[in-house]
Amino acid sequence: MPAGTTVTWTNKDEEPHNVVAEDGAFRSPGMDAQGTFSHQFTKAGTYTYVCGIHPFMKATVVVR
């Protein structure tokens, strides 16, 4: 996605979740069901993140 894009995460689960960048670029508070968190990616790069509550849940955002 292009730099400057804002990503919004929505917890569509009954369990709480959060998003934590492995490089420390962003960290959400815990999100209960239907909770949201937004982050604007201003710099190009590859951002790997996990759910800090469930660290086996991993994903990556690529900013060009």
All structural domains of the chain: 5-63 (2.60.40.420)
Region for residue 63 given its phi and psi (left: phi exceeds 0; alpha: psi -120 to 50; beta: otherwise): beta
pLDDT at 17: 99
Residue 13 per-residue DSSP state: S
Region for residue 24 given its phi and psi (left: phi exceeds 0; alpha: psi -120 to 50; beta: otherwise): left
Q: Return all residues near 32 (Cβ < 8 A) that are at least 6 apart.
A: 11, 16
Q: Cα dist. 27→21, 40, 49 in Å?
A: 6, 12, 9
pLDDT one digit per residue (tens) for the chain, 64 residues:
999 999 999 999 999 999 999 999 999 999 999 999 999 999 999 999 999 999 999 999 999 9
